[in-house]
């Protein structure tokens, strides 16, 4: 599965997970990507789109 949204380019974000004792360890947050069939100028095709793009209407689903 790809790590980025084909519509907006949203990808994983890196940072640190900090415990109660303030010890930090590396952490990665991944976007919520869905494999959806969309309408394009060249026809219908499958793309990886984040749920934010799906909710906002940037992706027009194919039937």
Residue-level pLDDT at 1: 63
Residue-level pLDDT at 16: 98
Which structural domain range is residue 3 located in?
1-63
Q: pTM score, two decimals?
A: 0.81
Query: Could you please report the per-residue DSSP string of 1-63?
Result: --SS-TTT----EEEEEE-TT--EEEEEEPP-EEEEEEEETTEEEEEEEEHHHHHHT-S-B--
Q: How many distinct structural domains can be found in the chain?
A: 1
Ranges in the chain, pLDDT < 70: 1
Residue-level pLDDT at 2: 74
Which CATH number is 60's domain given? Answer: 2.30.170.40
């Amino acid at each position: 599965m790809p790590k980025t949204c084909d519509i907006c380019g949203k990808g994983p974000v890196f940072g640190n997970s900090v415990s109660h004792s303030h010890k930090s360890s590396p952490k990665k947050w991944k976007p919520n990507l869905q494999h959806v069939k969309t309408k394009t100028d060249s026809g219908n095709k499958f793309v990886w789109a984040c749920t934010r793009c799906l909710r906002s209407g940037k992706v027009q689903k194919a039937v």
